[in-house]
Amino acid sequence: MNYQETLEWLFVQLPMYQRVGQAAYKANFDNTLLLSDYLHHPERAFKSIHVAGTNGKGSTSHMLASVLQEAGYKVGLYTSPHLKDFRERIKVNGEMIPKRAVTSFIRKHKPFFEEHQLSFFEMTVGLAFDYFRKEKVDIAVVEVGMGGRLDSTNIITPEVSVITNIGWDHTQFLGDTLAKIAAEKAGIIKPNIPVVVGETLPETKPVFEEIALKNTVEIVFAENESFNFYPSDLIGSYQKMNQKTVLTTLKMLKQKGWLISEKDIKKGLKQIVENTGLLGRWQILKKAPKVICDTAHNREGLVLTMKQLAVEDYKKLHIVLGVVSDKDLGKVLPLFPKNATYYFCEPKIPRAMSVVQLQREAEEYNLLGEPFLSVKSAYQSALKNAEKEDVVYVGGSTFVVAEVL
CATH number at residue 338: 3.90.190.20
> Can you give the pLDDT at residue 26?
52
Question: Cα 373 to chain center, whole Å?
Answer: 27
> Can you give the pLDDT at residue 19?
47
**Residues 10, 80 within the same domain:** yes
pLDDT one digit per residue (tens) for the chain, 405 residues:
899 999 999 987 655 544 444 444 456 688 999 999 999 999 999 999 999 998 889 999 999 999 999 999 999 999 998 999 999 999 999 999 999 999 999 999 999 999 998 988 999 999 999 999 999 999 999 999 877 788 899 999 999 999 999 876 555 556 568 888 889 899 999 999 999 999 988 988 999 999 999 998 999 999 999 898 999 999 877 799 999 999 999 999 999 999 999 999 999 999 999 999 999 999 999 999 999 999 998 888 899 999 999 999 999 999 999 999 888 899 999 999 999 999 999 999 888 999 999 999 999 999 999 999 999 999 999 999 999 999 999 999 999 999 999
Where does a domain end: 276, 297, 315? 276
**Residues 189, 256 within the same domain:** yes
Q: Which CATH number belongs to the domain containing residue 223 in this structure?
A: 3.40.1190.10
| Residue 41 CB partners (closer than 8 Å, separation 6+) | none
Q: Judging by beta carbons within 10 Å of its beta carbon (0-12, 13-18, 19+), is residue 112 exposed, middle or buried? A: middle
**Residues 194, 335 within the same domain:** no
**Residues 249, 112 within the same domain:** yes
C-alpha 376/C-alpha 404 separation (Å) is: 7
Q: Which domain holds residue 220?
A: 3-276
| Residue 286 CB partners (closer than 8 Å, separation 6+) | 383, 392
C-alpha 366/C-alpha 20 separation (Å) is: 30
Antiparallel, parallel or unpaired: β 160-163 and 195-197: parallel
**Residues 336, 257 within the same domain:** no
**Residues 227, 323 within the same domain:** no
Number of domains in the chain: 2
Where does a domain end: 236, 255, 276? 276
**Residues 80, 140 within the same domain:** yes
**Residues 96, 46 within the same domain:** yes
Q: What are phi and psi of 121, to 5 degrees?
A: -70, -40
Note if the pTM is more than 0.95. Answer: no
Question: Cα 107 to chain center, whole Å?
Answer: 28
**Residues 227, 330 within the same domain:** no
**Residues 394, 319 within the same domain:** yes
> Can you give the pLDDT at residue 350?
86
**Residues 76, 216 within the same domain:** yes
**Residue-wise DSSP of 41-69:** -GGGGSEEEEEE-SSSHHHHHHHHHHHHH
**Residues 227, 303 within the same domain:** no
Where does a domain end: 276, 303, 338? 276
C-alpha 142/C-alpha 162 separation (Å) is: 10
- CA angle 328–187–90, rounded 5-degree value: 80
Question: Cα 393 to chain center, whole Å?
Answer: 20
